Structure 1
Amino acid sequence: MVRRFTSVRARAALSAALAAAVVFGAGGWGVRDVVRDQRMTAAREEATRDAFSLTYSFESGVRPEGTDFSFAVVLADGRSAMVSGSIFGEDLDMPLAEFPPRVGWGIRTVRGKGRFVVGTTDVLPADQIKSLTGSGGQAAQRLTVYVLVSPADARTAVATIDRLLGWGLPVAVPFVGLIAWFVTGRALRPVEAIRAKMADISAHALDQRVPVPAIDDEITRLARTTNETLDRLEHAHHRQRHFVADASHELRTPLAGLRNSLEIALAYPERTDWPNTVATALADVDRLQRLAEDLLLLASPVPAASTASDLADIVEEQVAERAHTGDGPAFTAHTTGPALVRETETRLARIVRNLLDNAARHARTKVTATVAGTGTGTGTGTGTGTGGSVTLTVTDDGPGVLPEDRERIFERFVRLDDARTRADGGAGLGLTIVRDLVTGLGGTVRVTDGSTFVVTLPGDDT
């Protein structure tokens, strides 16, 4: 139960209801104030017109009759000369302190009796004052007029809005929350379908995919991304299964040969050439050890190196070592200066060694390794290894790789011909390791003309 009220749907509905309460409440009070101000402004303008009309009548000597607005006329001594209508329900007598004589025009707030438009007439003759107000014995003087700014319309409008808010707000807020609950539920229905499908997918059913909604929206893109992720997982799972099967096969063959030779030697010890048997067993163990190291390297993540290494030095060192032994084809190195790559010497040396070993197996008489750097930092650019890229090229004079096999040779445990058999130690992982290490560095490796391998790595810009 608690989980239902903490769901995305419930939070969306609650947020919509709270937002509606704030908007409707604040908007209602804002409209209330605006309507009240407008009605009061209209009442003040009407009272001003009535006040001007009243003073004009007095100045013209015409006694106002039949007025429908509340007003009071005050003599110069503060006495009430004329009152029409009721002011907030009070009778005609008004305290002089609250309605004193004034000169000029303006708005005055009388304590407890609201607001009045206050105006004064010109100086009127005594006889005109007597005929207008009925008060004899008055000297010529000005009359002060108070016309009530009636708040009745404003109060009626505000009361109407209050009733609408009182009845409408409790209904509108839950209604908005209910609509948000319904709409969010419909919007999240595809998400629930994706979740349910993902819950059914296991390692034994990676071929299943989540449903993709027909509408092209965020949820549709989520479903497509999820299916793309499942595609990659399925591909990685299949590759892992093939890798495990191939690795088991590669390990089983030398183990079976080693076991067979040892069992025969133990069965016929008097006819066994023990030095040769031990040498053969050591060779098999050596192949197994190299294979185990290659598999471990492929399975291990490539950590980011903190320092840069000179690829040119590594190539020159390995070529010099092979030239010194004198075994196999002739090795030649061509470098134009330092070629810095942010990687450890061990991993760079593994890339170079695997490429040279592969070239040696296919070459007839010679292998050439070339290192060149295209820098973007200082100098002329060529051979600096500062920024830009570093290119390693290994070429042999062998028959080369056919175009249709130039991608397949980088797959695990792939051997294209008799030159790469288990007998000479090749397990089909050398070029796979090269591609994995180069790709982990953000570089590329490709075969160009069949017998030339080109490795491009990002140069170090520090």
Structure 2
Amino acid sequence: MRRLRPVTVRARATLGASSVVAVALAIASFSLLGLLDANLLHNAESDAEAQATGVAQLAQAGRLTPQLPPTHGADFLQVVDAHGTVLSSSQNLAGRPAISDRRPSVPGTVFGTWDISPLGSEHRQRVVQVTTDTGQGLVTVYAGTSLRDVDAADTTTAAALAVGMPLLLLTVAVVTWWVTGRALQPVEAIRAEVAEISDRDLHRRVPVPQTQDEVARLAVTMNATLDRLESSGRRQRQFIADASHELRSPLTVLRTQLEVAMAVRDPAAWPELIEGALEDTDRLQRLAADLLLLARIDSAEPLSAAPVDLTELVAEAVAIRRGDRCPAEGELAEGVRVTGSALLLTRVVTNLLDNAQRFADRRVEVRLRELPSARLAVLEVTDDGPGIPAADRERIFERFTRLDDARSRDHGGAGLGLAIARDLVRHHRGTLTAEPAEQGARLVVRLPLADPR
């Protein structure tokens, strides 16, 4: 059965539409035949009943004649008494015995469909039996009308339906096949275009039909997906190029120092060379850790959804830096709680403080507060350094970005700290932005507050 199922959408739509129309036509045809038969049969009964009732009235009045004249609406008439004796009949039943052996015992009217062989007719007869009480006893009048018109109408209608239904079904199937094919042409064009797009052709886009229907929206969505893929691929290639560039410098310096250490035979020079090699090794280690963290963030690994006391976390990060060149001063609201990973949020605060201390002249300020109306925790880190130009307030969050490349290298930055911080904040459904400040730089983190316990 699975092999017989249509595979394509076009075939399934055609089969479905044809099946529904076939069922509807079958129901309509049977209903039409039934209504037509019932209507014609009712008309025949009405005519026969009228004739039988008229003859019954003649019998009551005692005005029956041995032969009844032909009438409209009845093919034959016969009057029989309670003993089965034929009292009167139409000409086509003259001299014939009673057409029925049954003798009614009470007055009334009975309808029935009989095959009357004495008439020599191939059609059924609808017989109305009217029993009435006369002075000489019960008399039964039989009036019959041929159902040839009913049978002919049924036969003609059935033949017309037998021819018309297949033609109509075929028309429905052809039209459905054609319309579905036309509707699916844009889908096939989209499929063909996507099938030809490789990782080197992400700049290509699928055609968008002008119909503004579901297919057009599908094409727009597909192009948006290709835009994201192209952007992701471009970022990945740029990231690899930048990472390679960042790794090349410390590796080159480290190799040079090791080669010098091997060439210099003076043991007194070795400690200085080894110290420099260790510094570059530490720089490589930090850079590798940052790259690994970025890879984890890009892979969208799920976060642990645990409540975190952000006030305590920031206070610990500030306290550790009290002896630094530019100590951080904090103004922290009590009991600010968010949901997320304490380890990753600590990394966010650490990166922001590192960035602020790297460029500050004398001081770094940290403020933590709540916005109850917006259900947000707001963390601000401000320094009194040279500040960030308005045009670069978004660019500083790009990976390996340095506004002053030479000075950033002197300060030991690889241009990943703020990029990592923003990605981690976004991972916690928050935002990290650079905002205007009276002096220096001002970075603001907004995180959703944890649900109250």
What TM-score, normalized by structure 1, do the two folds share?
0.85
Residue 150 of structure 1 deviates from its aligned partner by 4.2
Q: Greater shift after overlay, 427-436 or 254-263?
A: 254-263
1:163 alignment partner in structure 2: 159
* Cα displacement string for residues 306-348 of structure 1 (whole angstroms, at most 9, x for unaligned residues): 322111111000101111xx11213122222222222111101
From 90, 104, 107, the counterpart of 2:110: 107
Q: Which runs of 5+ in 2 are unaligned?
A: 117-124
| 314-323 vs 3-12, greater mean Cα deviation | 3-12
Q: 1:96 to 1:207 in 2, by over 3 A?
A: closer
Q: 1:194 to 1:203 in 2, by over 3 A?
A: same
Work out whether residues 114 and 127 of structure 2, in 8 Å CA contact, stay in contact via their aligned partners in 1.
no
Residue 38 of structure 1 corresponds to: 39
Which of 444, 452, 460 aligns to 2:450? It is 460
Summarize the Cα distance change of 1:5–1:120 in structure 2 as closer, same or farther, 3 Å threshold: closer
Among 345, 348, 351, which residue is 1:348 paired with? 345
1:86–1:110 distance in 2 versus 1, CA, 3 Å: farther
Cα offset for 1:4? 11
RMSD (CA atoms): 2.7
**CA 1:4 to 1:257, structure 2 compared with 1: closer, same or farther past 3 Å?**
farther
Say which is worse superposed, 3-12 or 215-224, in terms of deviation: 3-12
Higher strand share: 2
Match among 265, 276, 288 for residue 272 of structure 2: 276
Pair 1:123 & 2:162 matched? no
Shift of 1:421: 1.6
* Residues 334-384 of structure 1, C-alpha deviations (whole Å, 9 max, x = no match): 2222222221111010010011111111222221222223457xxxxxxxx
Please list the CA deviations of residues 416-443 of structure 1 after superposition, one character each: whole Å capped at 9, or x if unmatched: 1368522322110111011111111111
Matches within 5 A, 1:50-199: 50-59=51-60, 61=63, 64-68=68-72, 69=74, 70-84=76-90, 92-94=96-98, 96-98=100-102, 100=104, 102-104=106-108, 106-109=109-112, 115-121=126-132, 123=134, 140-148=136-144, 150-199=146-195
**Is contact 1:75-1:81 (8 Å) kept?**
yes
| CA distance in structure 2 between the partners assigned to 1:272 and 1:28 by the alignment | 110
- Whole-angstrom CA distance in 1 between matches of 2:53 and 2:138: 14
Q: Name the CA shift for 1:119/1:222 in 2 (closer, same or farther; >3 Å).
A: same
Q: Do the aligned partners of residues 272 and 14 (structure 1) sit closer, same or farther apart at CA in structure 2, a change above 3 Å counting?
A: farther
Paired with 1:316 and 1:281, the residues of 2 have a C-alpha distance of 35
Is 1:370 matched with 2:367?
A: yes
- The equivalent of 2:384 in structure 1 is 397
- Number of corresponding residues: 431
The answer to whether the Cα contact below 8 Å between 1:361 and 1:419 also exists between their aligned partners in 2 is no
- CA distance change for structure 1 residues 112 and 453 in 2, over 3 Å: closer, same or farther? same
Give the TM-score normalised by structure 2: 0.87
1:263 aligns with 2:269: no
Cα distance in structure 2, aligned partners of 1:432 and 1:155: 89
Query: Percent of counterpart pairs with the same letter?
Result: 41
Match in the other structure for 1:14: 15
Distance in 2, Cα, partners of 1:239 & 1:369:
32
Distance 2:433 2:231 in 1: 23
The answer to whether the Cα contact below 8 Å between 1:77 and 1:101 also exists between their aligned partners in 2 is no
Alpha-carbon distance, 1:392 to partner:
1.2
Instruction: Say if 1:373 and 1:390, in contact at 8 Å, map to a contact too.
Output: yes
Give distance in 2, aligned partners of 1:272 and 1:408. Answer: 46
| CA separation of 1:203 and 1:85: change in aligned 2, threshold 3 A | farther
Tell me how far 1:25 sits from its aligned partner. Answer: 1.9
Residues 103 and 415 of structure 1, relative CA distance in 2, 3 Å threshold: same
Contact 1:59 1:122 (C-alpha < 8 Å) held by counterparts: yes
Q: Partners of 1:86 and 1:252 in 2: how far apart? A: 121
Which secondary structure state, in structure 2, belongs to the residue aligned with residue 47 of structure 1? helix
**1:423-438 to 2 correspondences below 5 Å:** 423-438=410-425
Equivalent residue letter for 2:25: F
Secondary structure class of the residue paired with 1:442: coil
Aligned residue number for residue 129 of structure 1 = none
Report if the CA contact (8 A) 2:104-2:131 is conserved.
no
Q: For residues 332 and 98 of structure 2, what CA distance do their matches in structure 1 show?
A: 114
Q: 1:119 and 1:143 mapped to 2: Cα distance?
A: 8
Asked whether the equivalents of residues 358 and 430 of structure 1 are also in contact (C-alpha less than 8 Å), the reply is yes
Paired residue type of 1:388: R
> Secondary structure of the residue that 2:413 maps to in structure 1?
coil
1:230 deviates by 0.6
- 2:432 corresponds in structure 1 to 445
What CA deviation, in whole Å up to 9, does each residue of 1:233-284 have, x standing for no partner? Answer: 1111111111111111111111111112222222233387211111111111
1:122 deviation in Å? 6.0
SS at match of 2:23: helix
Q: Distance in 1 between matches of 2:5 and 2:225?
A: 30
Contact persistence 2:64–2:88 (CA under 8 A):
no
